[in-house]
Amino acid sequence: AKDDPTLAVTDAQFREVLEFIKRTRKEGRIDLSYACEGFLGGYEGEVRDDFYQCAAGVSAASIRVDGAISGCTSIRANFHQGNIYRDSFWDVWQNRFDKFRDREWARKGECADCKMWRFCLGGGMHLHDDQEHLMYCHYKRLQ
């Protein structure tokens, strides 16, 4: 979708989705929540229960079907930290998730001078491409 705009929702459609989630949550008939995609500014607390954070590699980890150890199954292979078939999970968890836990590397491009950096930390890890550039900024889309 990043390279083909016809596959992505527009900024207006994105806002419509968030408004739908907000209305649905207020109705209370179904449990609906926006995922850990990225920081949403004024929508925080309205479309999900908790304030945004990417827990990948901080308080969550995953093991993919091929044995790759990562912070989240949605993250690209260049962010994998080891493989369960050859590495100790405990060792990987204790020693290899620095990139997930110190996000200063993501403070570049549109994030470099962003006033919301302390809340967002560069968005979800899965929103970064193979060169570690942020593909979508949810906060910026809502401005």
Q: Examine the domain organization and report whether 51 and 109 are in the same domain.
A: yes
Q: Examine the domain organization and report whether 45 and 108 are in the same domain.
A: yes
Q: What is the pLDDT of residues 59-105, one digit of tens each?
A: 999 999 999 999 999 999 989 999 999 999 999 999 999 999 999 99
Task: Report whether pLDDT(123) > 80.
Answer: yes
Q: Examine the domain organization and report whether 95 and 109 are in the same domain.
A: no
Q: Examine the domain organization and report whether 16 and 50 are in the same domain.
A: yes
Q: Would you state the pLDDT for residue 2?
A: 65
Question: What's the domain range around 24?
Answer: 5-55+104-142
Instruction: Write the CB contacts of 18 (distance below 8 Å, at least 6 apart in sequence).
Output: 34, 40, 43, 46, 47, 142
Alpha-carbon distance of 41 to 116, in angstroms, equals 8
Structural domains in the chain (count): 2
Alpha-carbon distance of 67 to 47, in angstroms, equals 34
Whole-model pTM: value is 0.81
Q: Examine the domain organization and report whether 26 and 47 are in the same domain.
A: yes
